[in-house]
Structure 1
Amino acid sequence: MTAFVRVSGPPNSNFLVGYPGISATLPRIEGRVEIRPLQGVSAPVLISLVTVSLQRRESIHPAADSVTKKHLAAPRKEIIDIVGKEMLLFRCPAGKESESVLAMDLPFVIFIPYGRGGEEIARRVPPASLQLDKRTAETYYEVVVTVQSGHQQQKKYQFPVPISRYDTLSTFGMYNRPESAERVTDQLVTLGISLPRWSYGPFDPVSVYIKLSPNPDCLNKAKKVTIRSITIGIDEEIVYNHEGDEPQRKVKKLISHAQQVGVRMPEAGYFTNLGLVFPAKDLRDNEGILPRARKEFPMFAVSGFTTTGTLYKIEYFLWVLAKMAGARDILLRQPIVVCPFDHAGCKEEMEAIEQAAKDAAHVSPDNPMLPAAQIIKHNDPNGLKALGMTIVGGQRKPLIE
């Protein structure tokens, strides 16, 4: 007899509890596996084994965004990984092939790894759910329930769970310290930049302090240099198969802004402050309607952010190009972190993250204190009552309390 299987989360909340990427919140998937008869409300189901796991599916197809290359390139590459550990929820007693069951509610909690375990892959924080345009890169998660009935083949039931990462929020202190860098060409001019903060989300303002200084040892020569223009921009760099034999790198310019200068190099140096707004992908169609969100992905499905999976990684660089006459141009590239949420959204999450950390302080990963499993067997005297049925005059009827 086939079973009806579903996974339900805690009352009035999502499967996902806590904030992946933030260890203090003990990120975890909480819920219960519910098994009921599929045909005939009270026909018992034979159950031998029930397990649950969190599965990550990742795939890349770098040529998918080109119509011509798509058919000539290698096929889509895919990997499937189990996140954390697979949990055994039920196994029928030894010497018995299966248990005849009317209803089963099996609570579970799967802890999502949150330690940066270096080479120890099992402890790495899993990358966030993401689907890039034309599915060139994709990561999504499913809760997989495996049910075995007697001698029949194991049946798997998948339930999508979107997972976001919260360790790149622009409101965290570590991203709000100034970052600076310098670059020299020709030994005549030094380009220095300073970023007041280095994590950005969609529509966040990006400002850069820029200083061009002459080399004091060649001052006469450096003063003859003319600063023609200064351009700032942001690049998105995707490396496909970055851990493999043939990594493929694709760089895409997201935005740039040029300022014409036309000034001879002053003895004290040239200072300026340039800014731009971090671009955001508009998901709305021509009529201003947002597409229906897919269960596997959060709403920022096609907008990239800083992330590293097994098959791909996405990085971002802020670059400054100083074009000069009398000296070689200087290009400086500085890595930045891109967050899926804007600064206001990050601020809103902070309070909830603090609360989740307080709640997680009472949870022990070794003994999460799950409610007891409820298993109603075929011969249970109150079995039909649990299914909302009763026997009246020898016939099964809906139970009205």
Structure 2
Amino acid sequence: MAALVRVSGNPNSNFLVGYPGISATLPRIEGRVEIRPGSGTTQPVNISVVTVCLQRRESIHPAADSLVRAHVSSSRKEITDIVGKEMLLYRSPSGRDSEAIMLMDLPFVIFIPYGRGGEEIARRVPPASLQLDKRTVETYYELVVTVQHGHSDPQKKYAFPVPISRYDTLSTFGMYNRPESAERVTDHLVTLGISLPRWSYGPLDPVSVYIKLSPNPDWMSKAKRVTISSISVGIEEEIIYNHEGDEPTRKINTLAKQRQTVGVRMPEAGYFTNLGLVFPARELRDNEGVLPRGKREYPMYAVSGFTTTGTLYKIEYYLFVKAKLSSARDILLRQPIVVCPFDHAGCKEEMEAIEQAAKDAAHISPDNPMLPAKTIIKASDPAGLRALGIAVVGGTRKPLIE
């Protein structure tokens, strides 16, 4: 007899509690597995074993964005992992093949790993849910409930999608708000130096870069003959498919670019300028201004991708500055930056909630999270029908009216 299985979160809250990527908030999934009769209202269900786990599914298809290559290249590469541990929620008493159950509510808590990881893959913070255009990259999570009706029966699995975001790249964190600088030299004549006031950006965040071109004082006569034709600044997205494998493939997309024509000889004191652009955002609404219903597996992000590392892929971002010169080779400087799925204003709004989540998590022990009691009503329980909202009136089963 098949059962009706569903997973519900706590009242007025999400499955996901805490902020993945921020260990102080003890990110976790809280909920309960609810099992009811699958056919008829009062037909008991035989249950032998019930387990629950959080499963990560990841796949890549580097050729999917090209119609020609997609047909000739290999199919998708896919992996499935269990995040954390699988939990045993119920097992029928020893000596019995199964137990006839009327109703079952089984609370659970699955802690999402938040350790730095390193060699211990099991402790790595899992990557955020993500789907790139044409499904070249996909990562999504499911709560998988496994129910066995008898020891000789095959197991039945029920999957419920859980979108997961990461919050360790918020642009409001202090570590991203320190200036970053870099230099590059060409032909021993000219040095290109850049400085970024901060290095984490989200959709529609302003990106400003301070640029300095300096002549080499030891070769001043030659350096003064150099003409600065133009300076370009832009943002590149680099996707590395199969980055831990033998044959990683790279794909670079230019997301935004700004060019300034200069046309001046190299001054003795050097050339200084500020260039800026706006980090591109994805339009979430359609042509009629309607926000389409999102897929249950993925949060809706205003950026197509963000800085992340999965098992099969890695997405990195670079701010590039290119100085086009005459009488010297051009200089290109690529500086790594972090791309967050939320804009700066959104990151500010989350900070207070993160602090509160950390205070709440301080009272929770991962070893003993103090779960609510299970509710299991067997077919033999005298009040079993009452729990299902049914009463026997004159030998007939009818809805119970309190």
TM-score, structure 1 as length reference: 0.99
**CA shift for structure 1 position 272:** 0.5
3-state SS in 2 of match to 1:351? helix
Which deviates more from structure 2 when the two are superposed, residues 153-162 or residues 278-287? 278-287
Mapping for residues 33-52 of structure 1, pairs under 5 Å: 33-52=33-52
CA distance in 2, matches of 1:218, 1:350: 51
3-state SS in 1 of match to 2:219? helix
3-state SS in 1 of match to 2:305? coil
CA distance in 2, matches of 1:325, 1:133: 40
CA distances 1:33-62 after superposition (whole Å, capped 9, x unpaired): 000001111111000000000000000111
Matching residue of 1:181: 182
Work out whether residues 281 and 302 of structure 2, in 8 Å CA contact, stay in contact via their aligned partners in 1.
no
**CA shift for structure 1 position 152:** 1.5
CA distance in 1, matches of 2:257, 2:290: 28
Matching residue of 1:137: 137
CA distance in 1, matches of 2:239, 2:148: 41
Work out whether residues 302 and 341 of structure 2, in 8 Å CA contact, stay in contact via their aligned partners in 1.
no
CA distance in 2, matches of 1:207, 1:230: 14
CA distance in 2, matches of 1:201, 1:376: 50
- The residue type equivalent to 1:208 in the other structure is V
- The residue type equivalent to 1:98 in the other structure is S
**CA shift for structure 1 position 305:** 0.4
3-state SS in 2 of match to 1:355? helix
**CA shift for structure 1 position 2:** 0.8
- The residue type equivalent to 1:283 in the other structure is L
User: Is 2:347 the partner of 1:346?
Assistant: yes
Matching residue of 2:322: 321
3-state SS in 2 of match to 1:350? helix
CA distance in 1, matches of 2:38, 2:45: 8
CA distances 1:165-195 after superposition (whole Å, capped 9, x unpaired): 0000000000000000000010101000000
Work out whether residues 48 and 149 of structure 2, in 8 Å CA contact, stay in contact via their aligned partners in 1.
yes
CA distance in 2, matches of 1:377, 1:321: 72
Matching residue of 1:107: 107
**CA shift for structure 1 position 302:** 6.9
3-state SS in 1 of match to 2:392? strand
3-state SS in 2 of match to 1:211? strand
Work out whether residues 130 and 302 of structure 1, in 8 Å CA contact, stay in contact via their aligned partners in 2.
no
Matching residue of 1:210: 211
Which sections of structure 1, spanning at least 5 residues, go unmatched?
none
Matching residue of 1:94: 94
Matching residue of 1:241: 242
Matching residue of 2:256: 255
Work out whether residues 283 and 302 of structure 2, in 8 Å CA contact, stay in contact via their aligned partners in 1.
no
CA distance in 2, matches of 1:287, 1:61: 32
Matching residue of 1:382: 383
Work out whether residues 284 and 302 of structure 2, in 8 Å CA contact, stay in contact via their aligned partners in 1.
no
Work out whether residues 132 and 301 of structure 1, in 8 Å CA contact, stay in contact via their aligned partners in 2.
no
CA distance in 2, matches of 1:28, 1:389: 36
3-state SS in 1 of match to 2:267? coil
3-state SS in 1 of match to 2:239? strand
3-state SS in 1 of match to 2:360? helix
Matching residue of 1:165: 166
Matching residue of 1:355: 356
**CA shift for structure 1 position 287:** 2.0
CA distance in 1, matches of 2:211, 2:310: 34
**CA shift for structure 1 position 301:** 8.1
Matching residue of 1:223: 224
Q: Structure 1 residues 264 and 212 mapped into 2: Cα distance closer, same or farther (>3 Å)?
A: same
Which deviates more from structure 2 when the two are superposed, residues 167-176 or residues 261-270? 261-270
CA distance in 2, matches of 1:365, 1:219: 65
TM-score, structure 2 as length reference: 0.99
- The residue type equivalent to 1:221 in the other structure is K
What is the aligned length? 401
User: Is 2:30 the partner of 1:30?
Assistant: yes
Matching residue of 1:400: 401
3-state SS in 2 of match to 1:93? coil
Mapping for residues 69-88 of structure 1, pairs under 5 Å: 69-88=69-88
Work out whether residues 200 and 343 of structure 1, in 8 Å CA contact, stay in contact via their aligned partners in 2.
yes
CA distance in 1, matches of 2:287, 2:392: 58
Q: How many percent of aligned residue pairs carry the same amino acid?
A: 80
CA distance in 2, matches of 1:233, 1:243: 28
3-state SS in 1 of match to 2:175? helix
